[in-house]
Amino acid sequence: MTDSAFAVVRAGALTTVQDLGRVGHAHLGVPRSGALDAPALRLANRLVGNPEGAAALETTLTGCAVRLRRAATVAVTGAPCPVTVDGRPAAWGAPVRVRSGALVEVAAAAHGVRSYLAFGGGVEAEQVLGSRSTDLLSGLGPPPLADGTVLRLGAPYGPAPAVDAAPCPGPARELALPVALGPRDDWFTPRALRTLATGEFRVSAASNRIGLRTEGPSLERVRDGELPSEGMVLGALQVPPDGRPVLFLADHPTTGGYPVIGVVPEDRLAAAAQAVPGTVVRFVPRRAG
């Protein structure tokens, strides 16, 4: 119903519908997708009284603006940013009750990359393989939002919690990412492994929902050529021919032929997804097991 909906007034650089993703379909070539900062999505949903996995909006750098067609409780988490309702300042990181017809604006991130706008009842986009998430690699799920897009809202699950604000860690100024070496660390020289451990890398502006690309020193290989295509996991640190590691995020391909020097634990990926271009990245390798 159009009266249980919201209309996009300003879509921003990239705003997508995201929940916790479509887990368990890698054997079909379908990435997990889902919110890149899953803890921020869970928090936003809790603040508006939703289950943690309800669908919300994930913005990128420049935020978005939507006009509600029914009264709703909203909350914004993730990258800190100014929030306004009909031009008046509203709380970030807290539930806000908004009247029907009001304009909710999530402004540009003050620091970090991705903010999350949750609505009481969740975004009722069509489910594909059990998820409402937009997958930029495969094209599954709703397309990225455009100005004028109208999306439905679900029925509220219950009252929002009575909190003034919720603690939420801000994006890191520098990333230190543990890396469990393997399965293809033997494709790299001892010097490359030292470089991985001691080199200063930076987040590239070419990063996206598929992967965090790095700038910095190149990792030397022991052997030439490529692998036969093999399975790729979330958090894989793949090294393409230019030698600069790429950290796979939620929309990553499920197979690939470049060697994976190691894997970053999933609980460290939210911080990586919030790192702005130019952020220093330091890898901390360790042997698996």
Residues in Cβ contact with 198 at an 8 Å cutoff, skipping those fewer than 6 apart: none
What's the domain range around 239? 174-287
First to last CA, the chain: 53
- Residue 58 is classified by DSSP as E
Strands 211-215, 64-68: pairing is unpaired
Determine the Cα–Cα distance for residues 69 and 103; give it in Å rounded to an integer. 10
Neighbours of 250 (CB within 10 A): 25
- Same domain for 147 and 181? no
Phi, psi for residue 280 in degrees, rounded to 5:
-70, 135
Q: Is position 242 within any domain? A: yes
- Same domain for 197 and 251? yes
User: Per DSSP, which regions of 23-136 are E strands?
Assistant: 56-60, 64-68, 72-78, 83-85, 88-90, 96-98, 103-106, 114-119
- Of 212, 225, 218, which is closest to residue 192 (Cα–Cα)? 218
- Same domain for 35 and 119? yes
Question: Given 152, 185, 209, which residue is the final one in a domain?
Answer: 152
Tokens 């640190």 found at: 237
Q: Is position 157 within any domain? A: no
- Same domain for 9 and 84? yes
- Same domain for 275 and 240? yes
Q: Are 195 and 224 in contact (CB under 8 A)?
A: no
pLDDT tens digits, one per residue of 1-40: 458 899 999 999 999 999 999 998 888 889 899 999 999 9
Q: Is position 164 within any domain? A: no
- Same domain for 118 and 218? no
- Same domain for 92 and 144? yes
Whole-number pLDDT of residue 1: 43
Q: Is position 158 within any domain? A: no
- Same domain for 21 and 140? yes
Count: domains in the chain: 2
Q: Is position 17 within any domain? A: yes
Question: Given 101, 119, 152, which residue is the final one in a domain?
Answer: 152
Question: Given 122, 152, 182, which residue is the final one in a domain?
Answer: 152
Confidence of residue 167 (pLDDT cuts 50, 70, 90): confident
Determine the Cα–Cα distance for residues 15 and 58; give it in Å rounded to an integer. 5
- Same domain for 9 and 125? yes
- Same domain for 20 and 103? yes
- Same domain for 92 and 213? no
Q: Residue 196 belongs to what H/E stretch?
A: helix 190-198
Q: Is position 166 within any domain? A: no
User: Per DSSP, which regions of 127-259 are E strands?
Assistant: 150-152, 174-181, 201-203, 211-215, 230-231, 236-238, 246-248, 255-256
Neighbours of 2 (CB within 10 A): 9
> What percent of the chain is predicted at pLDDT more than 90?
86
Burial of 242 (0-12, 13-18, 19+ CB in 10 A): exposed
Mean pLDDT of the chain, nearest integer: 94
pTM of the model: 0.95
Residue type, 165: A
pLDDT tens digits, one per residue of 202-249: 999 999 999 999 999 999 999 888 889 999 999 999 999 999 999 999
Q: Is position 162 within any domain? A: no
Rg of the chain over Cα atoms, rounded to whole angstroms, equals 20
- Same domain for 87 and 214? no
Q: Which residue has the higher pLDDT, 167 or 123?
A: 123
Output the domain CATH number for residue 195.
2.40.100.10
Determine the Cα–Cα distance for residues 1 and 148; give it in Å rounded to an integer. 16
Q: Is position 163 within any domain? A: no
